């Protein structure tokens, strides 16, 4: 069974993240969405909120599991029996960082392969940080995130 990991901070999950999760099911048997706890930045949503939102939004996908993790990604992958890391690529600046990480992860665990995917064109310009900024100023995020996330954003950042 091919198990892959799609890791990130998902603060919050966007339509771009969802798109990649579903696409990856085309060639993996099981996808583990790994929500990273150890970000140095102060997140908008707690780790539990982020895990819960993804679970609710992706609930109809039996082959997707959502878990939080701390520590190194290579250790999480080993623990989950995953040999594949899925990453999204939208821009050159993404690419450079991702390329360095792919080489470092391969150095740390030779069994771990990274594959990159291109998100759907209409999610290209969506990032979690832009979504947070738009929500903070009362902009409309309904086409950028899942309804579950849109509700959570409204509750967390009520219009003034």
Interface residue list for its own copies (CB under 8 A)? 2, 4, 23, 26-28, 38, 70-72, 74-75, 83-84, 89-93, 95-97, 99-100, 102-104, 106-108, 113-118, 121-122, 124-127, 130, 133-134, 137-140, 143
Residues 69 and 82: beta-carbon distance below 8 Å? no
Q: Which of 22, 19, 47 is nearest to 35 (CA)?
A: 47
Q: Which is nearer to its own copies, 60 or 140 (CB)?
A: 140
CB of 153 to its own copies, least distance (A): 15
CB of 127 to its own copies, least distance (A): 7
HSE (side-chain half, CA atoms, 13 Å) at 155: 8
Q: Which is nearer to its own copies, 92 or 155 (CB)?
A: 92
Determine the Cα–Cα distance for residues 110 and 73; give it in Å rounded to an integer. Answer: 13
E-assigned strand segments in 9-108: 30-36, 64-69, 84-88
Residues 23 and 117: beta-carbon distance below 8 Å? yes
Query: How many angstroms from the chain centroid is the CA of residue 133?
Result: 18
Q: Which is nearer to its own copies, 49 or 98 (CB)?
A: 98
CB of 115 to its own copies, least distance (A): 5
Q: Which is nearer to its own copies, 107 or 154 (CB)?
A: 107
CB of 103 to its own copies, least distance (A): 4
SS3 62: coil
CB of 1 to its own copies, least distance (A): 11
Q: Which is nearer to its own copies, 20 or 53 (CB)?
A: 20
SS3 28: coil
């Amino acid at each position: 069974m091919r198990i892959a990991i799609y890791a990130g901070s998902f603060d919050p999950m966007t339509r771009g993240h969802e798109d990649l999760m579903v696409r990856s099911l085309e060639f993996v048997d099981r996808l583990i969405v790994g929500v990273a706890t150890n970000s140095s930045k102060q997140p908008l949503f707690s780790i539990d909120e982020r895990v819960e939102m993804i679970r609710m939004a992706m609930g109809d996908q039996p082959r997707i599991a959502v878990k939080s993790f701390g520590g190194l990604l290579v250790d999480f992958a080993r623990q989950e029996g995953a040999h594949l890391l899925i990453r999204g690529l939208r821009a050159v600046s993404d690419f450079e960082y991702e390329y360095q990480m792919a080489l470092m992860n391969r150095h740390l665990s030779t069994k771990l392969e990274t594959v990159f995917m291109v998100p759907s064109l209409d999610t290209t310009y969506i990032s979690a940080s832009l979504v947070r900024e738009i929500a903070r100023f009362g902009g409309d995020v309904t086409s950028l995130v899942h309804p579950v996330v849109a509700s959570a954003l409204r509750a967390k950042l009520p219009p003034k």
